[in-house]
């Protein structure tokens, strides 16, 4: 009898503690943060429900963001970009709610863990390292283009391609070969499972406290995929650790970093060596191929829809790259040089090159390819939001941001604001970048396709170089237009803005 009473008492006590925890998380903590901000004149809409907060409102806004105008100031992006302390980091929900996808890797971690990872991984993406990867990028892309040429020949001179799927496979192959020493066929399962995991997680109630622990059908599938992906990555890592190789690629750097990490484990909250390897490999696999493939797909879509720009970029590529093969140093220099141009405006959407003479004269200073990529990243930035959490009480622009407050900057909105980009902010106009980012918008900090501040994307040099290689080779060999099957519908898949129905292009040999 006494044992039964003790059990009931324990259960009742546990239930009471759970209720208090939920009440603290869902009511008291948000109320405290809201009160501190309201005292400084910062107000917002009240939560639409206790359980979901403003999540339903946020989802509704996401559906309308591509069609509606909005207003904002440059204060948030400027403040976040200038803050270099470790007190403004990734929101904790990234490492919790999105743990199966990112864990405590470089994308999601904070503090000493993140700093250790950045010191290890960051140098591997400096341009001097990236330029050594160009030949591998060319080889992978050339293999894909040969398959396109074969299909076009078999179908009588033209064919329709779902380029987003091919580009995703290509980008996965490139990141495997350049950073992990394996080809796409060996890593295909990891990429497919990560892609499946991303889609499933985007369907859940991310952000609802405790929802990730419920044994729902989606959560059970997420847990299974997380376990399978971890096992596959550790298998690849184990194989590498037994290989005798002189190549020091990113995987080898991660393995060595994991050993150093374990030696200093007391500093890093006891996260295991295996977790360090798995989480950082997942981060590189995901960020290294998903975002680049999406950006390349949007670039081709826009060039297909704007044939004048396609013509000019192709002429530039053929002039720069002998036999259509990009050179690493040349790619680095394919950026805006407008010293021979006197106009300070970027009105109009038609390129100036209208004949061969114009092309021969203008390619020296125009660098159309870079302008198109920058404009694509403005209109369709792969990342949809810059999110930061105040890990301690901090001050930004004279405003006290309480510990635990999340700051979110919606990139698609900021990248289109007429007050920053001009009245054509919603239009495709690469000419706005002819004087660089500073000449394209009122506040350079408003351009953030790779994020801002200390947490800016570590792999931005790799992404830009890969985009230039892929687009250069495609443009040198093919002309293309939008297929009648193409349906324009940008969609948010957890953290990526991608074409919901893919990108179908009608392609011919040049």
Three-state SS letters, 339-405: CCCCCCCCCCCCCCCCCHHHHHHHHHHHCHHHHHHHHHHHHCCCECEEEEEECCCEEECCEEECCCC
Compute the average pLDDT of residues 188-213: 77
DSSP conformational letter for 423:
T
Query: ∠ at Cα 438 (457, 311), nearest 5°?
Result: 85
Compute the average pLDDT of residues 120-144: 89
Class of domain 61-509: mainly alpha
Flag the least confident range among 19-28, 200-209, 303-312, 346-355.
346-355
Q: Reply yes or no on whether the pLDDT at 298 is more than 90.
A: yes
- Between CA 95 and CA 127 the distance in angstroms is 29
| Joined tokens for residue 428 | 């495709």
Could you tell me the maximum CA-CA distance found in the chain, to the nearest angstrom?
A: 98
Residues 223-243 pLDDT 10s = 999 999 999 989 888 887 777
297 membership: H or E segment, kind and range? helix 273-305
The better pLDDT of the pair 502, 7 is held by: 502
Residue written as token pair 């394919």: 334
The better pLDDT of the pair 267, 12 is held by: 12
CA R_g for the chain = 25
Q: Tell me, what's the pLDDT at 161?
A: 97
451: left (phi over 0), alpha (psi -120 to 50) or beta: left
CB 503 within 8 A of CB 489: no
Q: Tell me, what's the pLDDT at 139?
A: 92
Q: Is 166 helix (H, G, I), strand (E, B) or coil?
A: helix
Phi, psi at residue 155, to the nearest 5°?
A: -100, 15
Residue 88 burial (C-beta neighbours within 10 Å; 0-12, 13-18, 19+) = buried
Q: Tell me, what's the pLDDT at 50?
A: 66
Q: Reply yes or no on whether the pLDDT at 422 is more than 70.
A: yes
Q: What is the mean pLDDT of the chain?
A: 81
Flag the least confident range among 134-143, 153-162, 185-194, 367-376.
185-194
Residues 477-495 pLDDT 10s = 999 999 999 999 988 877 7
DSSP conformational letter for 46:
P
Q: Reply yes or no on whether the pLDDT at 319 is more than 90.
A: no
Highest mean pLDDT among 4-8, 53-57, 94-98, 273-277: 273-277
Flag the least confident range among 148-157, 280-289, 333-342.
333-342
- Between CA 105 and CA 100 the distance in angstroms is 11
- Between CA 257 and CA 276 the distance in angstroms is 9
CB 466 within 8 A of CB 136: no
Q: Reply yes or no on whether the pLDDT at 421 is more than 90.
A: yes
Q: Reply yes or no on whether the pLDDT at 138 is more than 70.
A: yes
Q: Tell me, what's the pLDDT at 198?
A: 85
In the chain, domain spans: 61-509
- Between CA 209 and CA 79 the distance in angstroms is 29
- Following CA atoms 454, 119, 133, 289 in sequence, which dihedral angle do they give, to the nearest 10 degrees? -60
The better pLDDT of the pair 62, 454 is held by: 454
């Amino acid at each position: 009898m006494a044992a039964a009473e003790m059990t009931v008492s324990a259960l009742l006590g546990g239930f009471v503690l759970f209720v208090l925890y939920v009440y603290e998380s869902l009511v008291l903590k948000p109320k405290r943060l809201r009160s501190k901000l309201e005292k400084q004149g910062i107000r917002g809409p009240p939560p639409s429900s206790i359980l979901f907060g403003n999540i339903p409102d946020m989802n509704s806004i996401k559906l309308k963001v591509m069609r509606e105008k909005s207003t904002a100031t440059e204060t948030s992006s400027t403040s976040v970009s200038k803050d270099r302390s470790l007190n403004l980091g990734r929101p904790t929900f990234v490492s919790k709610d999105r743990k199966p996808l990112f864990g405590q890797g470089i994308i999601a971690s904070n503090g000493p863990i993140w700093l250790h990872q950045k010191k290890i991984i960051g140098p591997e993406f400096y341009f001097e390292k990236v330029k050594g990867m160009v030949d591998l990028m060319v080889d992978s892309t050339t293999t894909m283009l040969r398959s396109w040429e074969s299909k076009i020949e078999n179908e009588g001179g033209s064919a329709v391609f779902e380029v987003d799927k091919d580009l995703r496979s290509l980008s996965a192959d490139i990141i495997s070969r350049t950073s992990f020493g394996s080809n796409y066929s060996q890593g295909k399962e990891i990429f497919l499972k990560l892609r499946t995991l991303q889609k499933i997680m985007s369907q859940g109630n991310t952000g609802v406290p405790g929802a990730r622990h419920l044994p729902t059908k989606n959560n059970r599938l997420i847990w299974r995929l997380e376990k399978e992906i971890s096992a596959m990555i550790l298998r690849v890592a184990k194989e590498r650790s037994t290989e005798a190789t002189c190549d020091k690629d990113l995987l080898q750097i991660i393995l060595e970093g994991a050993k150093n990490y374990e030696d200093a484990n007391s500093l890093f909250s006891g996260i295991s060596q295996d977790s360090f390897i798995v989480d950082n490999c997942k981060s590189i696999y995901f960020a290294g191929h998903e975002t680049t493939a999406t950006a390349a797909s949007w670039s081709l879509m826009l060039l297909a829809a704007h044939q004048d720009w396609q013509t000019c970029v192709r002429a530039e590529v053929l002039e720069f790259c002998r036999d259509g093969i990009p050179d690493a140093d040349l790619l680095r220099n394919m950026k805006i040089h407008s010293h021979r141009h006197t106009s300070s405006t970027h009105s109009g959407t038609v390129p100036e090159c209208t004949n061969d003479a114009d092309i021969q004269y203008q390619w020296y200073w125009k660098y159309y390819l870079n302008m198109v990529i920058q404009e694509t990243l403005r209109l369709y930035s792969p990342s949809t939001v810059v999110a930061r959490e105040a890990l301690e009480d901090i001050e930004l622009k004279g405003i006290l941001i309480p510990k635990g407050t999340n700051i979110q900057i919606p990139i698609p909105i900021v990248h289109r604001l007429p007050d920053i980009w001009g009245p054509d902010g919603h239009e495709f106009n690469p000419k706005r970048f002819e004087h660089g980012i500073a000449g394209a918008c009122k506040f350079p900090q408003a351009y953030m396709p790779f994020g801002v501040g200390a947490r800016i994307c570590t792999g931005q040099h790799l992404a830009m170089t890969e985009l230039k290689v892929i687009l250069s080779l495609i443009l040198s060999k093919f002309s293309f237009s939008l297929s009648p099957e193409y349906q324009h519908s940008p969609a948010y898949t957890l953290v990526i803005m991608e074409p919901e129905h893919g990108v179908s292009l009608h392609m011919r040999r040049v």
